Amino acid sequence: MTALTVFALGAFLPAPNACAKNPEKQHNAIVSLQDQTTLTLHPLMNRYETANHSDWRDLHAWQRFVTVSTLSDYEIMSRSTRFHDSALRALQNRQGLDGNDDDLWVAQADLDMARLTHSPAQIQDARRIFNTIASKYWDGRCGGGVWWDHARTYKNAITNELFLSTAARLYRFTHEQAYRDWALKSWSWFRHSGMIDADNLINDGLDNQCRNNGGPAYSYNQGVILDGLLEISALTEDGAPQQTASRIALAAIRAFTPSPGTFQEPGGPMNTDARIFRGIFVRALGHVAASEVDNTTRTRIADWLSLQARSAWHSRKLDALTSDTWNDHPFHASAQGQITAASLFMATALSRGTETP
């Protein structure tokens, strides 16, 4: 069963149980990964949700839509609609967006919520965003690819990863050949672009000579391409993209883990953007582990996720306030910390196919 099938069915975990009802009493208890997710999302809503209930404090605009996707995952996992209305309101909040990558995060959130609502309006919104970017921002510079910004100054990894993933997902929702063609065209360009380095990591983008700029291999760049490759593999029935995803996933695990139980994001101290990168990465890792990947890769991913999840959970404060570093050194609370930890616990559960902590 592929990760896409698992998420469509929403069947990898049972309904939530009573241990999530009192976070303080459960601080030292052993609770399921599903309940860890529930407890972790409560501070997101109680401490960080804005007064209009359509955003969360201290998030950059694009991170709002990563949060919507995380809440949609939770609804599929738990079959609980407790965060459904907040996710829908946030999805409609387009304030602060800037650039093609931001718009493509919206399209991804549209399609994630459409798994629950089956709303033609959300699918149409994703189509509108994708079609606009495809028509205006794909050109022959560097042999293809879409521009990161409206001023056309930079072709980078994240925008093109989101573009190919959105194309493949739109094909799955609409069965329109044009989206399949875009997905295959953009993956062909991406894999020959030079952004995948000799260590199977994705660097940040291309320089003015259309060469790998050697920019940091941020974890979210590794994550988004994994989801895109799983989609490409599914629509082509070709195992090669999935094998590429496995290589990237294992290379990233090695790169981001200087010692057991740690996670080191490249590029220096985490800023507001980087605080959410690891959540995007581990979400995709869970999808890889739940796909038809080889047992060795599945086990390595599941073990790594379990180790990270234990670190994040055991370093939490009362009321499941979680550090966005996933440990005590240093402990830094933020809305992003709650989002990334929730994604981590769900990915760990998905990688195991069980709710046992």
List the pLDDT tens digit at each of the 357 positions of the chain.
Answer: 343 433 333 333 333 333 444 444 444 445 799 999 999 999 999 999 999 999 999 999 999 999 999 999 999 999 999 999 999 999 999 999 999 999 999 999 999 999 999 999 999 999 999 999 999 999 999 999 999 999 999 999 999 999 999 999 999 999 999 999 999 999 999 999 999 999 999 999 999 999 999 999 999 999 999 999 999 999 999 999 999 999 999 999 999 998 887 899 998 888 999 999 999 999 999 999 999 999 999 999 999 999 999 999 999 999 999 999 998 888 999 999 999 999 999 999 999 985 432
- Residue pair 335/59 in contact by the 8 Å Cβ criterion: yes
In angstroms, the Cα distances linking 345 to 45, 321, 354 are 17, 14, 12
Which two structure tokens, joined as six digits, stand for 216? 């940091």
Asked if omega into 241 is within 30° of 0 (cis), the reply is no
Q: Is the dihedral of CA 345, 349, 355, 357 positive or negative?
A: negative
In angstroms, rounded to a whole number, what is the distance separating the alpha carbons of residues 168 and 177? 10
Token code pair at residue 101: 């990558």
The Cα–Cα gap between 347 and 301 comes to: 10
- Interatomic CA distance for residues 107 and 323, integer angstroms: 28
pLDDT the model gives residue 229: 97
Q: What six digits make up the tokens of 191?
A: 């894999």
Residue with tokens 């063609």: 181
Domain 3-352 sits in CATH at 1.50.10.20
| Contacts for 66-71: CB closer than 8 Å, 24+ residues apart | 66/105, 66/109, 66/276, 66/279, 66/280, 66/339, 67/335, 67/339, 68/109, 68/112, 68/113, 69/108, 69/109, 69/112, 69/283, 70/279, 70/283, 70/339, 70/342, 70/343, 71/41
313 vs 38: CA distance, rounded Å: 12
DSSP letter at 118 equals -
Structure tokens at 129: 């965003």
pTM: 0.91
Burial 334-356 (b: 16+ CB within 10 A, else e): bbbbbbbbbbbbbbbbbbbeebe
**pLDDT for position 354:** 56
The amino acid occupying position 204 is D
- Reading the block at residue 232, the tokens are 């490409």
Tokens coding 254: 């090695």
Q: Please tell me the predicted confidence (pLDDT) of residue 356.
A: 34
Q: In 44-83, which residue ranges form alpha helices assigned H by DSSP?
A: 61-78
Spatial contact of 328 and 315, defined as CB atoms under 8 Å apart: yes
Nearest alpha carbon to residue 3 among 337, 345, 298 = 298
Q: At what angle do helices 84-92 and 100-117 cross, to 10 degrees?
A: 140
Tokens of 262: 């740690």
SS3 label, residue 148: coil
Check: CB of residue 71 under 8 Å from CB of residue 54: no
CA 312 to CA 341: how far, in whole Å? 7
